[in-house]
Structure 1
Amino acid sequence: MPKAAAAANLMLCLFLLVLTFFEISTADNYVRPPPRQTLHFDFRSKSSSKLPQQVHISLAGNNYMRVSWVTTDKSSPSTVEYGKSPGEYSSIAEGETTSYKYLFYKSGTIHHSVIGPLEPNSIYYYRCGGQGPEFQLKTPPSKFPITFAVAGDMGQTGWTKSTLDHIGQCNYDVHMLPGDLSYANYLQHRWDSFGELVQPLASARPWMVTEGNHEEESIPLLKDGFESYNARWKMPFEESGSSSNLYYSFEVAGVHAIMLGSYADYEEDSDQYSWLKADLLKVDRKRTPWLLALFHVPWYNSNTAHQREGDRMMSAMEPLLYAAGADIVLAGHVHAYERSKRVYQGKSDPCGAVHITIGDGGNQEGLANKYKDPVPEWSVFREASFGHGELKMVNSSHAFWSWHRNDDDEPVRSDQVWITSLVSSGCVDMKNYELKEKLVAP
């Protein structure tokens, strides 16, 4: 090799070495921005309005969508007019209403109306209660690719707004939220302000949520838990054969998603456990090659916060998800981000699930910035920053996951990975005969 070429190669190697060192040093020395204050809202202007408020949508079975909203006028009809052209409504759906009292608070009238059948991957225009502004929604596609936005532990802070702004820039189809929505914490008007905060996004794309500990709001001898959450955020539990709004499943574009309840009974003699077994047995991996699970308390967590809180649920339900070949498990609760290898029973397993903790949407309690050392063998990436995730199911065999850190209001992609489905890797076929027995055993 000529001396000039050798010298050039040496310089290139030195440059790459310095660049690598700089990148590592930059990551190690990353300074997280400080917490932000809780957002404040003017409730008087909203409480005096009779127009539909807090509009959000969710999937309600194949080609159907549930539209939910709140009015202060009890006589307002629970109707949704909708069509494919602005201001031209070719269809109308009648819904149901509910309300609740919580100590000195009385909710407005809460409306839920199911519209459809709707065409996939299409824009619809709709109006709630026969008055007020026109909203626009987009239905998810019926086949790959499909993109999910994921963010848990949202709250109502400046960082929440930053997260929502970044999600709004994402070309996603469905938002999944693994618990802790409003952080109302017994102050019921905070449920109203949360509904207004998320309306611009939640009225345009379906939000699929499950409960966290901050949704419970129980008062011994006076109030059962989750009354506010169940009244306001009705999910398709009945459509999926569940008896509780705290756990359900849905299917969309080749994905079967199971939304479990960390705060509903999950032992082997519980209704949730029985429902999960029955639901997993219905999964057709030819129709839905991807199997996702989402709940609040993580099972794999190397942060010092909330250590081992998910152990009992994991002991009961991880074997079921493993038997069914769950691909990805998403959780919140810990106010930080972490991604695992494929793992089962505490060890790396090529046929286990990838576990992702993403409880960093913007809550007011701050970040959980202390991790255990040494790093567990199964943990791949962890960082205590606010942000959101994007999961794109490209086809039946490959998905692309990325985590976007909120860095001074700019979304910075800090972690990304391609994930191969267990169906395409052969794990599901290898396990089907032997492990089906676990699902059907009494």
Structure 2
Amino acid sequence: MGRRWAARRLGLALALMVVVVLAARCDGGVTSSFVRKSGKTVDMPLDSDVFRVPRGYNAPQQVHITQGDHDGTAVTVSWVTQDEPGSSTVLYGTSKSKIEFFAEGKYARYKFYNYTSGYIHHCTLRNLERDTKYYYALGIGHTLREFWFRTPPKVGPDVPYTFGLIGDLGQTFDSNRTLSHYESNPKAQALLYVGDLSYADNHPNHDNVRWDTWGRKCTPVPDQSAPVYITIGDGGNVEGLANNMTEPQPSYSAYREASFGHAILEIKNRSHAYYSWHRNQDGNAVAADSMWFSNRYWHPIDDSYT
């Protein structure tokens, strides 16, 4: 009886040792020393510097550009004038000292609850040369504002191009750090805002003033050149939000923590692209995570051995 009990205890001890060893080997490890703050981020107040209206009566605000056609030879300039329509004309040219062309746009406005929008202008510049720097100006008299952009290169499977990626930006203090961090990164040629955008629906009556503040915050990019493309976020998809995360994460999980920041997607050629994630908490040149993507059509990989 004693020998049998001793054998059982020895077997149990060995089994526990195996479990401990397996648990140690299955531990995903720590992928980052960063711990995101637990407090909920809040919107910046309406009188924040980044929300300020440009100087001058009826000065153009919320200025941004998007690609105006499928070929990359047109650019649409959008902006808002608050008090009256003003001018929908955009002056442009390939030299800052000689802006010789002009285009006429249109404007519209809308009402929502007790909110009345400013005059929203859209003007498309057409027949532009590819991969060319253009200067453009809008406004009247002392409220004239000048910017510039570079048109995309000719379309081709091996033409390199770099996108900046920001998702769910909002207008919190963390949002401001994200945008400032992105602006310090000189790589991107165009910026993709992967919605959601303003989070105006977090305020009573979906306060549309928060769309104006968001638009003004996103205007002052230092080089003032990158096109902006807006796409829907998870709130616009029929499947709804992805809220079913495991919490807390098990010790063997290699889950990357959620954090504020931006990404850079560098399309190298037809077969390869490089993606890097830059957290606000890291230095401007430091990528917290990165990976290569390959196009299986142009770069087939034999994975039959897996």
TM-score w.r.t. length of structure 2: 0.73
What SS does structure 1 have at the residue aligned with 2:218? helix
CA deviation after TM superposition for structure 1 residue 85, in Å: 1.5
Deviations 1:229-285 (A, max 9, x none): xxxxxxxxxxxxxxxxxxxxxxxxxxxxxxxx625xx9xxxxxxxxxxxxxxxxxxx
Residues 28/112 of structure 1: CA separation in 2 closer, same or farther (3 Å cut): closer
The one-letter code matched in structure 2 to 1:59 is Q
Partner of 2:161: 146
CA deviation after TM superposition for structure 1 residue 173, in Å: 1.2
- The structure with higher relative contact order (CA 8 Å, sep 6+) is 2
Give percent identity, aligned residues only: 36
* Counterparts of residues 1-400 of structure 1 (less than 5 Å): 27=31, 29-33=33-37, 36-42=41-47, 49-61=57-69, 62=71, 63-131=73-141, 132-143=144-155, 144-170=159-185, 171-185=187-201, 186-201=206-221, 204-212=225-233, 262=237, 305-307=242-244, 370=247, 382-400=256-274
Deviations 1:287-341 (A, max 9, x none): xxxxxxxxxx68xxxxxx524xxxxxxxxxxxxxxxxxxxxxxxxxxxxxxxxxx
CA deviation after TM superposition for structure 1 residue 92, in Å: 0.8
CA deviation after TM superposition for structure 1 residue 371, in Å: 6.7
Partner of 1:337: none
Q: Check if 1:421 corresponds to 2:295.
A: yes
2:42 and 2:283 map into 1 onto residues whose CA distance is: 15
From the CA coordinates, give the structure whose radius of gyration is larger: 2
Return the structure number with greater helix share. Answer: 1
CA contact under 8 A between 1:66 and 1:112: conserved in structure 2? yes
Q: Check if 1:404 corresponds to 2:278.
A: yes
CA deviation after TM superposition for structure 1 residue 174, in Å: 1.4
Partner of 2:9: none
Identify which range, 167-176 or 29-38, moves more after superposition.
Answer: 29-38
CA contact under 8 A between 2:90 and 2:136: conserved in structure 1? yes
Residues 124/153 of structure 1: CA separation in 2 closer, same or farther (3 Å cut): same
1:45 and 1:173 map into 2 onto residues whose CA distance is: 26
What SS does structure 1 have at the residue aligned with 2:102? strand
Deviations 1:197-253 (A, max 9, x none): 000239521111123366xxxxxxxxxxxxxxxxxxxxxxxxxxxxxxxxxxxxxxx
CA contact under 8 A between 2:29 and 2:252: conserved in structure 1? no
Mind listing any 5+ residue stretches in structure 1 that lack a counterpart? 1-23, 215-260, 267-296, 299-304, 308-367, 428-442
The one-letter code matched in structure 2 to 1:106 is T
CA deviation after TM superposition for structure 1 residue 46, in Å: 5.7
2:37 and 2:77 map into 1 onto residues whose CA distance is: 37
The one-letter code matched in structure 2 to 1:197 is K
TM-score w.r.t. length of structure 1: 0.52
CA deviation after TM superposition for structure 1 residue 133, in Å: 1.6
Residues 124/381 of structure 1: CA separation in 2 closer, same or farther (3 Å cut): farther
Residues 373/60 of structure 1: CA separation in 2 closer, same or farther (3 Å cut): farther
CA contact under 8 A between 1:162 and 1:406: conserved in structure 2? yes
Mind listing any 5+ residue stretches in structure 2 that lack a counterpart? 1-27, 302-306
CA deviation after TM superposition for structure 1 residue 77, in Å: 1.9
1:375 and 1:100 map into 2 onto residues whose CA distance is: 53
RMSD: 3.1
The one-letter code matched in structure 2 to 1:382 is R
- Matched residues, number: 257
2:107 and 2:93 map into 1 onto residues whose CA distance is: 23
The one-letter code matched in structure 1 to 2:256 is R
Residues 55/203 of structure 1: CA separation in 2 closer, same or farther (3 Å cut): farther
Residues 135/105 of structure 1: CA separation in 2 closer, same or farther (3 Å cut): same
2:282 and 2:295 map into 1 onto residues whose CA distance is: 35
Residues 124/375 of structure 1: CA separation in 2 closer, same or farther (3 Å cut): farther
Residues 82/25 of structure 1: CA separation in 2 closer, same or farther (3 Å cut): same
CA deviation after TM superposition for structure 1 residue 381, in Å: 5.9
CA deviation after TM superposition for structure 1 residue 180, in Å: 0.8
CA contact under 8 A between 2:249 and 2:255: conserved in structure 1? no
Deviations 1:135-155 (A, max 9, x none): 122222335210011111001
1:164 and 1:369 map into 2 onto residues whose CA distance is: 30
CA deviation after TM superposition for structure 1 residue 161, in Å: 1.5
